[in-house]
Amino acid sequence: RITNMDTLVALSTGIAYLFSVFNMVYEDFLLQRGLHAHVYFEAAAVIIAFILLGKLLEERAKGNTSSAIKKLMGLQSKTVTLVLESGGEEVVPIDQVKIGDRVLVKPGEKIAVDGMVVYGNSYVDESMLTGEPVPVAKLHGEKVFAGTINQKGSFQFDASKVGKQTLLAQIIKMVQDAQGS
């Protein structure tokens, strides 16, 4: 019950339709005044068809964006392996990771949060960020990002961004914002 573009289209096509019906039923009314009785049925129909086509294309684009968001969310890990101060390991849900926690990443695992490599080295598939199919070598002091996939070696890194601060979460938020606008 608010006005928008549809209100303008409905008003204009409705008036054109009613005017055309009037001219068809009372065609002598305008002819007696020296005017031709035009009808605009086809113009109203074409305008409505164009608007419906535009809405269909918009919904299709939103659907594609929604599937892209689902795929991006699928890149997020559910659990991480934390390295304890005692030297042991503990698997915890991702929402329990805090900034500064030391995270262990084994071959084939997804990196759960953003951070900086402190021990070990490996190759990481960052194609979801860069589009490059070639894995990138990660050595001591280099940044790693959530959603990327560890390839060969294992390494430990200190978490620097968790939750909604990660690069992957920011990408998902930007896609959702773009979909909304």
3-state secondary structure of 101: coil
pLDDT score, position 14: 94
pLDDT score, position 32: 86
And the tokens for 9? 């289209």
Place of tokens 């900034």: 99
Distances (CA, A) of 23 to 43, 44, 48, 84, 162: 15, 15, 21, 84, 68
Place of tokens 């608010």: 2
- Rg (C-alpha) for the chain, rounded Å, is 30
pLDDT tens digit sequence for 42-89: 999 999 999 999 999 988 877 776 776 777 667 677 888 888 888 888
pLDDT at 117 over 90: yes
| H runs (alpha helix) in 26-136 | 27-31, 41-74, 127-130
Distance CA 181, CA 170 (A): 16
